[in-house]
Each structure stands twice: as structure tokens, then as C-alpha cells.
Amino acid sequence: MREARGRKGTQPAFLFNKDATDEDRIRGRVLQSSRSRAMRVFLAAVFLAVGLAVPRAGTAQESQIEGLRAVAQSHSRDWEAALSLGRALRRAGRWAQAEVELRRGIGVCAANPSALRALYTELARVYMDLGNVQRAFATCKQLIHVPGASAEGHACVANAHLVWQRATEAQLEAAEALAIDPQCYNARLAQGLAFEFELDSARAEASFREAIAMRPDGADARTALGRVLWRAGDRSQGLAELSKGVELDPLGPENVFELASALPLGPERTGLLERAVRERPSFGKAWLELGAQRLASGRVAEAKEAAESAARTDATNLGARVLLGQVALAEGRADDAIHAGEAALKSEANNAAAELLVADGNARKGEMDLAIEAYQAAWGLDHRDPTPLVSASLACHAVGRDTSARAFGVRASEEFPDWGPAWAALGDALVAQNEQRAAREAYGRALSASAGGLDRDGVRAKLAAMR
């Protein structure tokens, strides 16, 4: 059989010969399919031999890299092995290594459109993860020129625009991709993400559902749908979709992180966050969430380790600096906490978390006027977070300023009626003012609230003490 040669590797010539018969092309597809099946069988054998679970398509990263590397080294001419390893390296946050491996894969399949389509798509994602949008655009344009991959190329460009949050441009590219191929999953997904950037949750939901209809096992669409539903207030359905995303892609760091973010403080959330950073050690956001979770659980030393891991990932990360300040506060070093918050504010004057840290530090020192001023500033910077109002109420109550504590508690419970700690703080202030009936009602509202990570046993104990 004649073969057409690229820069490296070979492919059946009749796949690219415009004069080939349909019978020739069918034989070629069968041959390619048998090669793919053989590689999948070999991959499974290698993973079983080294004692690892066999990964489903797209699920392997940090914990399975060494097995994939062994396959890629022993099958250096097989593009599927290069793709699997490159994808795993990208998802693990090893972007430089991923780029090298994917480009190696491109080099051995220069005449195989299906291979180039998959490899260029994955390479573009490497550049998107790095925030290098120009190189992502260039790679997407190469994809557009791959035979049969024009729609995927435009979907790729759409996703690159989303890195810069250019929703309008992303919509145009996604529409062009869907005009070429109405069943282009990545284009429909990009369309949904663009609607999400525009805060159009209804249209984002519709696009994600269409993407799922195209690819029911698409974990990223499931996760995106779950995130939109959750933020729109449909917590049960949102959680179900987020869980489905993790079920479909149990080792995907982003899917695991999104599910963890929707769960209340507790062992399940901690376990998911630990899985996310295990599979992507450079996952700064996950390290910060894990550190906050550990700190809330009283695991101060482990919280410090998480903050330091986030800082190693990105030395300029203000979140890591603030978390280290919160650790200092938990260790009783209020001055160090205030200094950390003030240093972060010098870098970013509208950082609500840093302002809140300064407030908490001053409250710990008994400087209540300074603390209240900082709590109000933190609330002014981010009206989505009830923590400054609740913390201000508790701090005022702790020093006997219960009129102010009540005012902050009322504001917090009005702004966030489903936030249990807001009602509990209000209840504490009302008890101090001998408003027994109103306090019981506030504690009852706290126990029936659906959000906030409330210490329910503590609230029940306060109710029992009032009888």
C-alpha cells in the first residue's frame, strides 16, 4: 500500500487523494480505527501493569503522568500517546512540558487531519491556560486550516477571546463555527461561557444544555451548567450537575474545584480541594480555598502550608498574602495580620479581603473605631460577601457595643436572608439587649437558613440556655 509521508510518520495515501474511491476511504478509516483500538488496549495494559486505574478519555493528569510518559516513550511515533501525555501535563499545570509533548505529537502526524485537530486544540488550550492569547490565536488559526476542522478552529478562537473576557467577539466566532457545523460541541460550550460572562444565565443555561445534548459525557459542559444553576439560586440542580461533572471526570482539577466551591465547610469539601491540588500542584485558587477551609477548621499549621503553596505558585498572589495574614491572626499575632492586610491594600486598594483582615486585626487589639471603619470599607468594596457585616456584629458584641452589633446584624440578615451566621450574630446582640422573643426568632431563622456554614449545635445551645 502506498503511503503519504509528512515531516515524520506515515499515513495511508488514499485518505488524502481526491481521486480515491469511497471503498478506499472506508478501508483507510477501518485501518486507522484498528490502530486507535490497539493503542487504547496497550495504554490500558500499561496502566494495569504499573498499578494505576485506567483513565477514561481526558481524565488523566498528575497522578497518572508517569504511566502516560512510559507509553509515550515506548511509542514515540504514536500521536495518541503524545496527545494523552500532553493533555495530562496541561491539566496538571505543567504547561511547558505539555507544549513540548504536543508539538512532538504534531510532528509525527503532519498528514493526519484527525490527529492534528486534536493536537492543535489541546495545544491552544495550553496557551489559554497560560494567558498567552496571541499564541492561542495563532494555534487556532492553524487549526482552521486543517481539513475538516474549520468549525473547531473558530470554536478555538472563541475560547481564546474568552480568556480576555471578550464575550462579543467570542459569540461571533462561536456563531461562525456553528454555521459550519451545528453539532460543534466546543462552539456551543464557548457560546454558553460568553453568555455567562454577560451575566445572561438563562441563555448560558440553554447553550450548556445544548452542548450536553451533543455530548452527554462532556464533563466541562456539565460543570458549567452546574455553576450557572448554582449561582442563579437553583442549588439542588446545580449541585447535581456539578457532581455529574466530577463523576464524568473524577480527576479533572477544574471540575473538582467547582464542586468543592459549592459545598459547605466540611470533610467532603476538604477532600475535593485536596484532590484538586494533588492533581494540579500549581492550582493557586484551590490552594487558597483549601487554606481557608483548614483555617476555619482550626488547622492553622496546615492552613499556613496551603498559603505558602499558593504563594510559591504565584509570588504576586495577594490572596496568599492575605491568607498568611489570617494565619498570623489565628496565631495571636494581630499586628502582623494588620501589616499583611495593609501591604496588600498598597498593591490593590480595593481588595475587600485585605480590608477585612485589617478590620479583624484591629478588633482583636480592641481598636474598635478603627475596626468598624475597616469593616464598613470592606463591605463597601464587595456587597456580595456578608462576612464584613457579620464579623462587625460579632466584634461589637464581644466588647459590649450591642447597639452597633444589632445594627450590623440587622443589615446582614436583611441583605442575606439565607445566611445563617447573620441571623446568629443578630440573635447574640438581641440577647444582650434582653430582647428574648426577637432573639429566639433570629436563632430560629439561623437554624433554618440554607447557607453560611453555621455552628448549629452552638446556636441550639444558646436557644436552650434561654428557656
Q: Which tens digit of pLDDT belongs to each residue from 183-211?
A: 999 999 999 999 999 999 999 999 999 99
> What value does the mean pLDDT take over residues 427-435?
89
> pLDDT (tens digit, 9 = 90+) per residue, 31-64?
344 344 444 444 444 444 433 444 444 444 566 8
280: helix, strand or coil: coil
Residue 437 falls inside a structural domain? yes
- CATH of residue 409's domain is 1.25.40.10
Contacts of 226 (CB under 8 A, 6+ apart): 237, 238, 239, 240, 241, 242, 243, 244, 245, 258, 259, 262
Percent of the chain with pLDDT over 70: 86
Residue where a domain stops, chosen among 110, 139, 160: 110
The Cα 269–Cα 223 span in angstroms is: 16
Per-residue pLDDT at 256: 95
User: DSSP 3-state assignment of 433?
Assistant: coil
Among 46, 64, 44, 63, residue whose Cα is nearest residue 54: 44
Sign of CA dihedral 273, 278, 279, 285: positive
Confidence band for 465, pLDDT divided at 50, 70 and 90: confident
Give the span between the Cα atoms of 454 and 416, in whole angstroms: 14
- The strand pairing partners of 88, in sequence order, are none
The helix (H) or strand (E) run that includes residue 4 is strand 3-5
Q: What pLDDT is stored for residue 264 in this prediction?
A: 81
Is 70 exceeded by the pLDDT of residue 150? yes
Query: Phi and psi at residue 113, in whole multiples of 5°?
Result: -60, -40
Query: Which of 92, 110, 128 is the last residue in one of the domains?
Result: 110
Domain end call among 110, 125, 151: 110
pLDDT band (50, 70, 90) for residue 325: very high
Helix and strand numbers (H, E) in the chain are: 25, 2
User: What is the rounded average pLDDT of the residues 170-193?
Assistant: 96
pLDDT, mean over the chain: 85
Q: Is residue 327 part of a domain?
A: no
Assigned domain for 6 exists: yes
Q: Band of the pLDDT at 289, cuts 50, 70, 90?
A: very high
Q: Does 118 map to a domain?
A: no
pLDDT digits (tens, 9 = 90+) for 229-260: 999 889 899 999 999 999 999 989 999 999 99
Q: Which residue has the higher pLDDT, 60 or 466?
A: 466
Domain count, the chain: 2
In a domain? residue 240: no
- The confidence band for 395, taking pLDDT boundaries of 50, 70 and 90, is very high
423 within domain boundaries: yes
pTM of the model: 0.74
- Structural domain range at position 89: 1-110
**pLDDT of 13 over the 70 cut:** no
Give the model's pLDDT for residue 143.
95
Per the domain annotation, does 39 fall within a domain?
yes
Q: Is residue 106 part of a domain?
A: yes
